[in-house]
C-alpha cells in the first residue's frame, strides 16, 4: 500500500512536471476578438484569420521550435471585458508574450498598462494616437508597445480627401465642395475626425457639422434628410459596414446625391452584397495590395492559411481576413526575432518590429504592403490604396459567384503616398 502510494505520488509529480515543461515550451498569446458585439460584422473575419494564421504557424513548426498557445476570447466589443482579460494576460504567473488586440476604445484604455507591463499589442484599431511611441507630438500619450498593420484612420481619411478634392475639380463644379464626418459618438469613428476636418479645410472644402449615427444597423432616414438639405458632396462613414449599409440604403431611398467614403472597416465584399446598388461607387482604403483571389505570389500562403478553418478552400474571404493574415504574420516574425535574441517577450518582441525596413512577411509577397516601424514612429505605412465598389446587377446569391461574374467588383482608383510629416505623428 505504501509502495503504491509512493508510486502514485511520484506519478503525480511527474505529470505536473510534464505539464509545467509543456507550458514553458509554449509562447502565450492573448487574442481579443469581436464575434458578437458592435463590430462583429468585420471582427468575425478578422478574428478568424488571426486564429487560422497562428494555427498554420503551429502546424509549420511554431516560433523558435515552440508552439503558440493562443487564448482567443470574444469580448463583444466591451471595454470592461477587455480590461478583465488583460488582467489575466498580464498576471505574473500567466503573462503573455504579446496580444493581438481589436477595438479603439479598449486599445487606448490599455495603452498605459501595456507600457508598464511591457506587453506588445498589435491591434485592429488604426487610431493615429497609437502611432507615437514616445508621445513627443503632444497629441497623444506615449504608446511604445502599440502596433497595427496598415495606414492610420487619419492618414486614410487624408488620402480620401485628397482624392475628393481632385474629383471635385475634375467634375468642374462651381464653389466649394462640402464635406461631412459621419459616425457614432465613440472613440473609433471619432479617431480621425479632427485630422480629417483640418485636412478638408486645408484643401478648400466647406466643413459641415458632423452627423451622428449609431454603430448598430437602424433607421437613419433622418440623417439622410439632413444630408440632403445640407447639400453635402462628400461624406466620411466612420462606422463599420453593418450600420453604414443602413445609411447607404436610406440615403438611396431619400434620393441623396453624395459621394460616400468609407473607413477601412466601413466597406467590404459582404457589405457590397448586402447593400446592393446602394453601395455602388463607395470609395474606401484597402490595407493589402490585392483582395481575395488576386494575382500575387503570397496569395498561395493566404489560401493555405484559410484552409485551417475551411478545408474545402471554397469560402470567399473578405478584405479584412487578408489584412489580419498580414497582421498576425508580422507579429509571428517579430516573435521569431525575439526568440533568437533573448526570448520571445516584452522589449525583445518590440525590437523585433524594428529590425526590417519595407518589410513584407515571408511568403506574403505581393499581398502585404511593405511596412516600416521605428522606435520613434509607429506609422507602419503612409501608402493608402484607394478602391471603389462597383455593383452591376442584383447581388442575391453566392459571394464567390458574384465576384467571379463581376457583379461585385473592387476597382483600384488611386495609390496615394502621404509625406511622413513629424507634425502629423499621433494625429
pLDDT in tens, 92-146: 999 999 999 999 999 999 999 999 999 999 999 999 999 999 999 998 999 999 9
* CATH number attached to the domain at 2-151+297-353: 3.40.50.2300
Residue 283 confidence (pLDDT): 98
Give the span between the Cα atoms of 149 and 379, in whole angstroms. Answer: 9
Residue 376 confidence (pLDDT): 97
Q: Is 12 exposed, middle or buried (0-12, 13-18, 19+ CB in 10 A)?
A: exposed
Q: How confident is the model at residue 6 (pLDDT cuts 50, 70, 90)?
A: very low
Looking at the chain, the whole-number percentage of residues with pLDDT higher than 90 is 93
**Portions of the chain given CATH number 3.40.50.2300:** 2-151+297-353, 153-289+383-424
Residue 174 confidence (pLDDT): 86
How many other CB atoms are there within 10 angstroms of residue 317's CB atom? 24
Q: Of 387, 391, 386, 414, whose CA–CA distance to 280 is shortest? A: 391
Residue 17 confidence (pLDDT): 40
Q: At residue 10, does pLDDT exceed 70?
A: no
pLDDT in tens, 381-407: 999 999 999 999 999 999 999 999 999
Residue 24 confidence (pLDDT): 53
Measured CA to CA in angstroms, residue 19 lies from 15, 16, 58, 95, 419 at distances of 6, 5, 18, 17, 52
Q: At residue 16, does pLDDT exceed 70?
A: no
Q: State in words which class domain 153-289+383-424 has.
A: alpha beta
Residue 123 confidence (pLDDT): 98
Q: Read off the pTM.
A: 0.93
Element (H, E) at 5: helix 2-24
pLDDT in tens, 213-272: 999 999 999 999 999 999 999 999 999 999 999 999 999 999 999 999 999 999 999 999
In the chain, count H helices and then E strands.
14, 13
Q: At residue 5, does pLDDT exceed 80?
A: no
Q: How confident is the model at residue 7 (pLDDT cuts 50, 70, 90)?
A: very low
Contact 166, 386 (CB under 8 A): no
- Look over the chain and give the mean of its residue pLDDT values, rounded to a whole number: 94
Residue 173 confidence (pLDDT): 87
Amino acid at each position: 500500500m505504501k509502495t503504491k502510494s509512493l508510486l502514485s505520488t511520484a506519478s503525480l509529480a511527474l505529470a505536473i512536471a510534464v505539464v509545467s515543461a509543456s507550458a514553458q515550451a509554449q509562447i502565450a498569446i492573448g487574442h481579443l476578438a469581436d464575434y458578437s458585439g458592435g463590430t462583429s460584422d468585420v471582427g468575425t473575419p478578422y478574428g478568424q484569420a488571426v486564429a487560422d494564421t497562428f494555427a498554420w504557424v503551429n502546424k509549420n513548426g511554431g516560433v523558435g521550435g515552440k508552439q503558440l498557445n493562443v487564448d482567443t476570447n470574444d469580448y463583444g466589443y466591451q471595454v470592461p471585458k477587455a480590461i478583465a482579460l488583460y488582467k489575466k494576460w498580464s498576471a505574473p504567473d500567466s503573462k503573455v508574450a504579446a496580444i493581438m488586440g481589436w477595438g479603439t476604445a479598449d486599445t487606448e484604455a490599455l495603452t498605459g498598462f501595456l507600457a508598464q507591463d511591457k506587453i506588445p499589442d498589435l491591434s485592429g484599431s488604426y487610431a493615429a494616437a497609437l502611432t507615437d511611441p514616445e508621445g513627443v507630438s503632444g497629441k497623444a500619450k506615449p504608446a511604445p508597445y502599440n502596433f497595427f498593420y496598415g495606414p492610420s484612420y487619419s492618414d486614410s481619411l487624408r488620402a480620401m480627401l485628397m482624392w475628393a478634392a481632385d474629383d471635385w475639380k475634375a467634375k468642374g463644379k462651381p464653389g466649394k465642395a462640402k464635406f461631412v464626418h459621419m459616425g457614432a459618438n465613440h472613440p473609433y469613428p471619432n479617431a480621425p475626425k479632427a485630422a480629417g476636418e483640418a485636412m478638408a479645410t486645408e484643401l478648400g472644402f466647406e466643413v459641415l457639422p458632423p452627423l451622428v449615427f449609431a454603430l448598430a444597423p437602424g433607421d437613419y432616414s433622418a440623417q439622410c434628410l439632413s444630408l440632403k438639405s445640407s447639400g453635402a458632396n462628400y461624406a466620411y462613414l466612420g462606422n463599420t459596414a453593418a450600420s453604414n449599409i443602413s445609411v447607404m440604403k436610406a440615403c438611396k431611398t431619400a434620393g441623396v446625391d453624395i459621394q460616400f467614403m468609407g473607413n477601412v472597416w466601413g466597406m467590404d465584399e459582404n457589405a457590397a452584397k448586402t447593400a446592393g446598388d446602394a453601395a455602388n461607387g463607395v470609395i474606401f482604403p484597402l490595407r493589402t495590395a490585392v483582395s481575395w483571389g488576386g494575382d500575387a505570389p503570397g496569395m498561395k500562403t493566404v489560401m493555405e492559411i484559410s484552409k485551417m478553418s475551411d478545408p474545402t478552400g471554397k469560402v470567399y474571404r473578405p478584405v479584412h481576413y487578408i489584412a489580419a493574415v498580414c497582421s498576425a504574420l508580422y507579429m509571428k516574425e517579430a516573435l521569431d526575432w525575439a526568440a533568437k535574441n533573448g526570448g520571445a517577450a516584452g522589449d525583445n518582441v518590440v525590437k523585433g518590429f524594428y529590425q526590417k525596413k519595407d518589410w513584407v512577411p515571408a511568403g506574403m509577397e505581393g499581398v502585404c504592403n511593405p511596412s516600416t516601424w521605428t522606435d520613434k514612429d509607429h506609422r507602419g505605412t503612409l501608402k493608402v490604396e484607394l478602391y471603389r465598389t462597383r455593383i452591376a446587377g442584383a447581388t442575391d446569391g453566392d459571394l464567390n459567384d458574384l465576384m467571379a461574374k463581376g457583379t461585385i467588383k473592387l476597382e483600384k482608383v488611386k495609390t496615394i503616398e502621404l509625406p511622413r510629416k513629424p507634425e502629423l505623428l499621433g494625429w
